[in-house]
């Protein structure tokens, strides 16, 4: 997301490098390019005008801090203004004083409400809550069935009423809340119906539901790929329902991101979640400062840490740390480490979150999505004895492993060489600290992907990532 905007802004800021002081002409030229970049990203023209004016006012003639170059100083100002544009401080969900908390999802048809209902249910489950999903869309064919399938995938109950009963969405919602109270569900997610466009019938039904169930949160689901139309219908929904927050879906499919940069400024309503993919775990709480950092190519290390904490089993991590300190790290441990990293999401997304790395990658670099699969296949083609003692893998064993995973002997040789290099680096890191631990007494992070030195030529001038775990 925001790839196009991010690329253009970084090009603008590189042009300021080497200047001892930021003059008005420098800033005017840079802001002209920033204005064009924002407009091309489909940001509302009024938002662009106010944003550029604020940045220009703060940038002209500003003295450069000792620790910053002129370009960095302007980037800092733009970063601060982007954070303010996106809403500043993070706004969490409002929880009920006594359960259940009722969250009503609304939006146009095709915006991803039902899928989001499943994503939110899974997210709440990870937080230790016990959600209940409610099928209030009785008009769209298979809407109820879709929600039931999602519920079975994440083991979350779905409230429905028998089809032979006469029912209305508000009455379904009220009965669901009563059921949730009896069953001890502390979160109720209402999946409401949508329309292809806003009409009186839709808004009357949603208004009646709001009056009947008094939800603690009314979240408008907005398709980020719609662009400025999203801002227009968001205003109409807000006028009718007084929504409490937005959820931007399909952010992974929109490289411009103008709707996210406009919607908060125009409506004054905070963005609360971002949908970043089709999978049920592709949902992240919205943080204005982190998103601004990503747009400016500065990475997002906090979100990366949160993903790692979700993916890593603490008990297994402690065991792996002990094995590292005892110099017993083998291919079984390596396989576990790869499986943990796969839970964190696609490799390219992880790399983009690393400060200074994602933005520095050449444009012709392609990240092979099957890297992990191939490395995993190599290890799984080995016997338990070979995984525990890689030094036993001789030429004949390498040929057998290559045949077992449908790869060449050369790839097996490269894999084993790089694994040994990584293991050596990890031993050195452990040995440098008292108690056999890495910096600060923590397990070293040499298992994280590092693109340097891990690129291979592709036939037509492109590149792909090779081994992702170099030390």
- Evaluate whether residue 318 is within a structural domain: no
* Residues paired with 217 in a beta bridge: 103
Please report, for the domain that includes residue 49, its CATH number.
Answer: 1.20.120.140
Residues of the chain with pLDDT under 50: 66-67, 164, 300, 364, 436-471
Tell me the pLDDT of the chain averaged across its residues. 77
Decide if 319 is inside a domain: no
Q: Are 305 and 344 in contact (CB under 8 A)?
A: no
Kindly state whether residue 90 falls inside one of the protein's structural domains: no
In a domain, 92, yes or no: no
Residue 80 shares a structural domain with residue 111? no
Domain range for 49 is 3-85
In a domain, 312, yes or no: no
351 domain residue, yes or no: yes
Identify the pLDDT of residue 119: 94
Per-residue model confidence (pLDDT) at position 17? 67
> 330-347 burial by CB neighbour count: b if 16+ within 10 A, else e?
ebebbbebbebbeebbeb
Reported as a single tens digit per residue, the pLDDT across 54-69 is 888 887 655 555 445 6
Same domain, yes or no: 211 and 157: yes
Position 106 scores a pLDDT of 93
Same domain, 201 and 127: yes
User: What's the domain count of the chain?
Assistant: 3
pLDDT digits (tens, 9 = 90+) for 401-424: 999 999 999 999 999 998 888 888
Same domain membership, residue 430 and residue 333:
yes
432 lies in the same domain as 297: no
- Is residue 255 domain-shared with residue 352, that is, in the same domain? no
Give the pLDDT confidence of 128-164 residue by residue, as tens digits. 999 999 999 888 878 889 999 999 999 999 998 876 4
């Amino acid at each position: 997301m925001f790839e196009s905007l991010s690329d253009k802004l970084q090009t603008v800021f590189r042009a300021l490098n080497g200047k001892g002081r930021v003059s008005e002409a420098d800033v005017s030229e840079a802001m002209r390019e920033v204005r064009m970049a924002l407009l091309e990203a489909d940001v509302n023209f009024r938002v662009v005008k106010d944003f550029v004016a604020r940045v220009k006012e703060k940038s002209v003639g500003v003295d450069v801090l000792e620790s910053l170059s002129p370009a960095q100083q302007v980037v800092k100002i733009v970063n601060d203004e982007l954070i303010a544009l996106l809403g500043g401080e993070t706004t969490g969900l409002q929880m009920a004083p006594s359960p259940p908390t009722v969250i009503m999802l609304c939006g146009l048809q095709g915006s991803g409400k039902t899928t989001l209902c499943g994503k939110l249910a899974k997210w709440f489950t990870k937080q230790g809550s016990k959600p209940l999903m409610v099928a209030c869309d009785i008009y769209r064919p298979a809407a109820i069935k879709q929600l039931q399938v999602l519920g079975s995938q994440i083991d979350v109950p779905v409230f429905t009423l028998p089809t032979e009963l006469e029912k209305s969405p508000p009455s379904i919602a009220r009965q669901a809340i009563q059921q949730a109270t009896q069953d001890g569900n502390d979160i109720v997610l209402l999946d409401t119906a949508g329309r292809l466009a806003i009409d009186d019938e839709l808004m009357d039904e949603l208004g009646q539901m709001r009056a009947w169930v008094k939800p603690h949160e009314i979240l408008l689901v907005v398709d980020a790929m719609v662009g400025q139309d999203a801002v227009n219908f968001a205003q109409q929904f807000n006028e009718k329902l007084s929504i409490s927050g937005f959820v931007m879906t399909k952010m992974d499919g929109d490289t411009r991101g103008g709707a996210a940069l406009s919607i908060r400024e125009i409506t004054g309503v905070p963005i609360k979640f971002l949908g970043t993919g089709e999978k049920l775990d592709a949902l992240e709480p919205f943080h204005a400062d982190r998103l601004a950092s990503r747009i400016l190519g500065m990475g997002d290390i906090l979100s990366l840490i949160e993903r790692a904490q979700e993916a890593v089993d603490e008990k297994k991590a402690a065991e792996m740390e002990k094995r590292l300190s005892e110099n017993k790290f083998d291919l079984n441990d390596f396989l576990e480490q790869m499986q943990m990293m796969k839970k964190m999401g696609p490799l390219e997304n992880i790399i983009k979150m690393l400060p200074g790395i994602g933005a520095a990658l050449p444009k012709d670099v392609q990240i092979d999505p099957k890297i992990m699969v191939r490395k995993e296949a190599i290890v799984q083609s080995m016997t338990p004895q070979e995984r525990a003692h890689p030094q036993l893998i001789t030429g004949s064993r390498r040929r057998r492993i290559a045949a077992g995973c449908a790869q060449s002997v050369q790839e097996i040789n490269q894999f084993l060489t790089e694994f040994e290099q990584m293991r050596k680096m990890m031993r050195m890191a452990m040995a440098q600290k008292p108690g056999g631990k890495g910096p600060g007494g923590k397990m070293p992070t040499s298992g994280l992907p590092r693109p340097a030195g891990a690129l291979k030529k592709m036939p037509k001038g492109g590149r792909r990532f090779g081994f992702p775990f170099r030390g």
